[in-house]
Amino acid sequence: MHHLSSELAAIVERFGSPRIVVLGDLMLDEYIYGDAERLSPEAPVPVVQERHRQHRCGGAGNVAVFLTALGAKVDLIGVCGDDNQGHLLRADLRDAGVNVACMLVITGRPTCTKTRLVGLAQHRHPQQMLRLDREDVSWIGPEHENTLRENLRQGLAGAAALCIEDYNKGLLSQSLCPAAIDMARELGVPVLVDPAAVADYSRYRRASVITPNRTEAELATGRRMEAVPLGAAELARDLYVRLGLDACVITLDKHGMYLLDGPEGGTLHPTKPRTVYDVTGAGDMVLAMLAMAISAGATWSQAVDLGNVAGGLEVERFGCVPLGRREVVSALLPGEAAAEKVRGLATLNVALASRRAAGKRIVFTNGVFDILHAGHVRYLQFARSHGDVLVVGVNSDASVRRLKGSGRPVNSLADRMAVLAALACVDFVVDFTGDTPLELVRAVAPDVLVKGEDYAGKEVVGREVVEARGGSVVLAPFLAGHSTTSTLEKLA
């Protein structure tokens, strides 16, 4: 198993920056978050007190964002409306680094938008309560389709892969989809398709691979999957032969994925059990990972194993949150996870954004942590118990010298951060150069700020910042008889 994980991690490390074309239905995902803690007196429904809103790229746009986060250069081809949602969608895509020059804006056609009402309990634990869809699923028409064909023809030149994301929203017609596949295959570009939930899969003929889920595969074949893996093997073979594929991958939620990539055999690729928080975006992540892996020269079997890992990580998050290569490598090689905890502020904020999107409670504390002892460990465990993610700010060497004198620190900043990162209760470690962590507290914006009980009745740096956001300050008890000073005295 370790050899396989190392092999897969090596593939991720050589992903490079392939140029990948994404063709498909574009959507804007809107999220309205609010506290749901009482029932309405008007009807037996919960009352949601709105707290904030978010919008993200959905559909093919989500695949494009996922690919970009993994290092690809992405050309996106699709349509949106000339409305506020369309402007937001294009702005979000550009911000993510996606090339939107080949997108088509259609006046009078609404941008496909999915608005989700998300209830929170005690400002945490997001739960989707309602989804409102706004869309026009009619065919885009011959004129717009011809424009997209020309954009696709130009985009495929020199591309490493074509990803087709079909939600049956009027873009991928029985004429455009086969034409796209034929164009790519003539150029030797592999075509990866996340198919729609439709009965007729003829539009996907000659694709390199399709990735239906269990329900979609049953609908496309007209047959029930009675058991895994035998039932999956039967459906995969039906699609593989009928559509002339190079491979067929059926995603099977908790059972993993079934791969058929030749006329004989087929293999079930089990997945690691995960805490499923939200399945939104898991299929998009699988498609993106398969495309990156194949572009890097992986076999279909290796690509599916990587897709399993990436899809498993995605369902542990709320909403569609991109994964970076480092997160995938850390999941494959847990021994390297400690090194991933040490962050600069920019990468820390990226990591925290995904945790916040998943409803996680962020805790922050800080200190010198020069000679780690049992009191430190107990203190950090106490801090971690007040939330889901613990960020530890560590004074730089120069800062320690100003505060403690020329003989300190005993251990360098790198060593102090490495030791903290090795603790299971610590999620991230970041350094700061000032004499106080005020700017770091502002940047991290924690839900909980933890300091030692010796701050009772004293000013806690960052208190106003945290409490202004509705957060809290908690004072941790000390473990008697344990301090860095007493440890140094014993060593003297």
DSSP string, 66-125: HHHHTT-EEEEE-EEESSHHHHHHHHHHHHTT-B-TT-EEETTSPPPEEEEEEEEETTEE
How many Å apart are CA 439 and CA 382, to the nearest integer?
Answer: 24
CB atoms within 10 A of CB 333: 17
Rounded Cα gap, residues 290 and 292, in angstroms:
6
HSE (side-chain half, CA atoms, 13 Å) at 191: 29
Q: How far apart are CA 432 and CA 465, in angstroms?
A: 17
CA distance 251 to 441: 42
CA distance 293 to 482: 50
Sign for the pseudo-dihedral over CA of 77, 81, 86, 87: positive
Instruction: Respond yes or no on whether the N-terminal peptide bond of residue 409 is cis (omega within 30° of 0).
Output: yes
CA dihedral (55, 60, 66, 69) in degrees, to 10, reads -80
CA 33, 37, 38, 42: dihedral to nearest 10 degrees? Answer: 10
What residues does 19 pair with on adjacent strands?
73
The secondary structure of residue 355, as a DSSP letter, is H
- Beta-bridged to residue 476, according to DSSP, are 452
Among 284, 305, 427, 431, the one annotated catalytic: 284
> How far from the centroid of its chain's Cα atoms is residue 479's Cα?
39
Token pair of 472 as six digits: 């809290």
Residue 339 CB neighbours (<10 A): 13
Which element (helix H / strand E) includes 2? helix 2-13
In the chain, the largest separation of any two C-alpha atoms, in whole Å, equals: 84
Output the six-digit token pair for 174.
């029985």
447 is catalytic: no
Residues recognised as catalytic: 284
